[in-house]
Amino acid sequence: MEKSGDFVEGLAKGLSVLEVFDRARPEMTLSEVARATGMSPAAARRSLHTLVTLGYMRQVQRKFVLSARVLKLAASYLDAANIEELLLPELRRLVGSFGDAASVAVLEGDDVLYVAHYSEQRASRMIASVGTVYPAYATSLGKVLLASLSREALAAYLDRVVLRPLTDRTICDNALLRETVDTARTDGFATARDELDYGITSLSVPVRDRLGRTVAAINSSGYTGRLTIDEIVARRLDGLRTAAARIGRTLDSYPPLLNSFFNPSISER
């Protein structure tokens, strides 16, 4: 990351502290936060003290936890971006047509970040929600978004990403992943079956703005036991592309949301 003279190191460190807490690490000691963020203990202590003072964290004995106030940060984005009014109606239409679940996601670093989600699923497996992040290489959403990267950005991604097996169907070979992404670029869609978690079959297409830039991806997913790759493509691809086009037009008419999605590594169509 290139840093200008206006870059505030302390703010960056504080935000990195907030981001390391997750389901696997809901509470941590100071030393654990320092290790997770790569900070010195002194720097981690200052960040934690500031966040506790501001009310974004709580300290319980030697452990630190996020406070509910952190939700205000996410709520501010959802309100300003008008996610519920602009994106959810199209996802509800998709689920009304096909059942199961539908999501919109963007590429954030090496992961896909879910910005909208609607589901009728009640299965006891991985379920996405707004703010959820998953490795891009293991999802159909991620493959579509990777296919939209410039060649330089994709090469850099493939050089640095560690392809960990999440199931026995996860793509863990760089050459095969590149081939899969190239196919997604040619076909204009991507699929995944049991790559992120067992039981998930999904189909994704890009969401493009009026300039042809891929600014997000939209998917439709279902239970693997009831849906094959061929079936989900045959039954849902046309409807998914229609939904993507509608969302693209919606984004063009609401620049704050469009600009919040824009990734400079994405190439024009």
User: 9-66 adopts what CATH topology?
Assistant: Arc Repressor Mutant, subunit A (1.10.10)
Is the pLDDT assigned to residue 7 strictly greater than 90?
A: no
| 125: pLDDT strictly greater than 70 | no
Domain with CATH 1.10.10.10 in the chain: 9-66
pTM for this entry: 0.84
pLDDT in tens, 203-226: 999 999 999 999 999 999 999 999
pLDDT in tens, 86-123: 999 999 999 999 999 999 999 999 999 999 999 986 55
Residues in the chain: 269
Residue 37 has pLDDT above 90, yes or no: yes
Classify domain 74-261 at the CATH topology level: Beta-Lactamase (3.30.450)
Distance CA 208, CA 269 (A): 9
Is the pLDDT reported for residue 172 higher than 80? yes
pLDDT at 91: 96
Q: How many CA atoms lie within 13 A of 215 on its CB side?
A: 22
| Predicted pLDDT at 3 | 62
- Percentage of the chain with pLDDT > 70? 94
CA 72 → CA 75, 78, 86, 236, distances in Å? 5, 10, 20, 36
> Which residues in the chain are classed under CATH 3.30.450.40?
74-261
Give residue 24's pLDDT band: very low, low, confident or very high (50, 70, 90).
Answer: confident
